[in-house]
A and B are shown apart, each in its own frame.
Chain A
Amino acid sequence: MSKLLNVRQAHVRYPLSGHLMARLTGNHQAWVNVVRGVSLAIDKGETLAVVGESGSGKTTLVMALMGLVPLQRGEVEFESKRILQGPRGRLKPDRRRVAMMFQDPVGSLSPRMTVRAALAEPFEIHAPEVKDTGAEVARLLDLVGLPVEFADRYPHQLSGGQARRIGVARALALDPALLIADEPTAGLDVSIQGDVLNLLSGLQKRLGLGIVIITHNLNIVRHVADHMAIMYLGQFVEQGTSEDIFRHPRHPYTKALLSANPNPDPDAQSARLDLAGEVPSLLNVPSGCEFHTRCPFVQTDCQESVPVSREAAPGHIFQCHYPLKED
């Protein structure tokens, strides 16, 4: 496998602490399955976007890849080597090679550390041989397009966009091969959102980074991602190249997500697919096709039989009994 990151059938579950639930099910320990059999692959220099509503399990998936929560089952290969699991079932990726950008740009920086200290920290932990961290800090600030004077600022003195840039700089400090970005543009103004995304794709071109973006903003996915995966209740219901999926989504859920974005043109007549209700609880997953409770095209057999994975085109996989026709 030449792929940078290869995930096969990843499962993540969290324990339920309710004693009542444990008593009712007869288990001493009850679990909620949050990620249920997810497979993905990403190559050097590619961007994969994982898209889904809140509660779909997308953040849990990347947390498991980073080794922040235990992986129950599944195999993860990074740079053709299997990542081993630690004593508590957590993956132990090489943190110098896999970096993460967290959702809240200001919250993920310590309020008591200057930008300089925050950017020097990765070197102190992982690369004590680097003596001149000052030069590295200057290099990183330059990389993300901030003046060197920013090194003396504290997080509260940064705007949202600047804090985001520091997050990028910190993630790239040790020259990783893979960057995982959880909602990199959440909470940013539209005029700055483009700035952060341009920065990421520019750096990707220069450094050959693989990027996994977690987002629910489909507007940006079209522009930044080569591949995308749509997640619903802990599973990928459709995955493929962004181009294919935007042109002809097969799964009604994908179509609904794509059409749910309010268009800035007041006269736009969008063929909107409205979904009823909200995402069902993971504790009470619907039978058959799990999307049937919200699907506008539901048929009787959807309620009973689970759809198998089908391939629309090479690499374009979906799970639906009645895939959508091209419009």
Chain B
Amino acid sequence: MSCPPVLPVLEVDRLSVSYRTERGDLKALRNVSLQVPRGEIVGIVGESGCGKSTLISAMIRLLAPNAQLDSGEIRFRGEDLLSLDLESMRALRGDELAMVFQDPMTSLNPVLSIGRQMRDIQYRLKESKADKNARSMRMLEKVGIPDPQARLRDFPHQLSGGMRQRVAIAMALMMKPSLLIADEPTTALDATLEVQIIHQLKALQAEIGCSILFISHHLGVIAELCDHVVVMYAGEVVETGSVREIFHSPSHPYTRMLLACDPGGITERTKVLPIIRGFLPDLVDLPAGCVYRDRCDMATEACAEQKPELKDLDGRKVACLLTAESL
């Protein structure tokens, strides 16, 4: 993606965020840049502690109180979200910028009916209750909920986990946002439901024409759903490009190991599964050089001194000293 034809919906530009802790500043995100082009699905993949959640919280301006923005911009349709006042930010959320969270039980209000919650989302529209209900019903139908009229009277606890997540998706897409941020929306669901919901999400995305930023640690889901993928490790972007390129020929050693570790990709039966040895580096006291070098099988002395920059490499971007030389 060297020159996007139109302005991307979302552009994160050299964002750095740290948390103030007793031990010192924990640098949760360092120089993170990524783009979500209009009408496309971008996946962010990374393991616990890679900064996915901090990144999303920064986007919707819901960072923890001890977080500080060190530098960078998050531009949503050209406008820097980080400098917006809270009033304008609130106007965007749920309208142009929608979210689906991992756990639908905690993102839905347990004491309000589904119908009430779906009407509340439409508070900006000057329409009658009946019109709003009708729109809610159409939306529920689209996400594959049978008998939507009856469901409007139900409360979240009366629905199964899959149904609740469908309701959450219906609510997020109801106002036809330009960007949907989905944070591990299928992680809590069974594989059969996961597949159903991914397909539905893809169909709805095509219909509404919105962009999706999809966060997951499940490589299979990213491969199936997304156009582009951003691989994060310990608060940095280590590799980004099209899903096909990266999943077929990963360049960064971390991406390679991540793909190698996925038992879904190993078709030969093995009793010993591959793992990534070692631990995440301490983000309070970061070592010099490459963040991944302690766990990297290919690390050289140069990796301990020089910090790799995210560089263009055949249409993708990789932050590794070795791949830049060897290719």
A residues contacting B by CB (< 8 A) are 53-55, 159-160, 189-195, 197-198, 201, 216-220, 222-224, 242-243, 256-257, 260-268, 272, 274-275, 277-279
B194 touches A264 (CB 8 A): no
B82-90, B133-141, B185-193, B297-305 - interface stretch = B185-193
* Chain A residues, CB < 8 A from B222: 264
B48 touches A262 (CB 8 A): no
Q: How far is the CB of B155 from chain A (nearest CB, A)?
A: 16
- Complexed CA–CA distance, A119 and B160 (Å): 37
B9-17, B67-75, B269-277, B312-320 - interface stretch = B269-277
Find the A residue at minimum CB distance from B144: A277
A223 touches B266 (CB 8 A): yes
Q: How far is the CB of A118 from chain B (nearest CB, A)?
A: 22
B residues 40-89 in Cβ contact with A at 8 Å: 47-48
A201 touches B244 (CB 8 A): no
* Chain B residues, CB < 8 A from A272: 195
Find the B residue at minimum CB distance from A242: B269
- Complexed CA–CA distance, A54 and B192 (Å): 11
* Chain A residues, CB < 8 A from B196: 274-275
A262 touches B198 (CB 8 A): yes
* Chain B residues, CB < 8 A from A268: 223
Q: Decide yes or no: A54 and B263 within 8 Å by CB, A263-B223, A265-B223 being known contacts.
A: no
18 A–B contact pairs at CB < 8 A?
A: A53-B190, A160-B48, A189-B48, A191-B276, A193-B273, A198-B272, A216-B190, A217-B191, A220-B263, A220-B273, A260-B192, A262-B191, A263-B224, A264-B222, A264-B264, A265-B223, A275-B196, A277-B146
B residues contacting A by CB (< 8 A) are 47-48, 146, 160-163, 190-196, 198, 217-224, 243-244, 247-248, 257-259, 261-266, 269-276, 279
Interface of B is mostly: helix
- Beyond the given A191-B275, A193-B273, please list 6 additional residue pairs across the A-B interface where CB-CB is below 8 A: A191-B258, A191-B276, A201-B272, A242-B269, A243-B269, A262-B264
A194 touches B192 (CB 8 A): no
A256 touches B192 (CB 8 A): yes
* Chain B residues, CB < 8 A from A224: 271
Find the B residue at minimum CB distance from A192: B275
B263 touches A257 (CB 8 A): no
A264 touches B259 (CB 8 A): yes
- Complexed CA–CA distance, A159 and B282 (Å): 13
Q: How far is the CB of B43 from chain A (nearest CB, A)?
A: 11
- Complexed CA–CA distance, A220 and B191 (Å): 13
Find the A residue at minimum CB distance from B229: A266
Q: Decide yes or no: A264 and B193 within 8 Å by CB, A190-B47, A193-B273 being known contacts.
A: no
Cβ 8 A contact of B269, one of A192, A194, A222: A222
A264 touches B160 (CB 8 A): no
A219 touches B192 (CB 8 A): no
Cβ 8 A contact of B271, one of A189, A193, A201, A261: A201
- Among B194, B217, B222, B273, the most chain A Cβ lie within 10 Å of the Cβ of B273
Which 7 residue pairs spanning A and B have beta carbons closest together?
A262-B220, A194-B273, A189-B47, A191-B276, A219-B263, A260-B191, A264-B219
Find the A residue at minimum CB distance from B225: A262
- Complexed CA–CA distance, A219 and B269 (Å): 10
* Chain B residues, CB < 8 A from A275: 192, 196
B264 touches A219 (CB 8 A): yes
* Chain A residues, CB < 8 A from B223: 262-266, 268
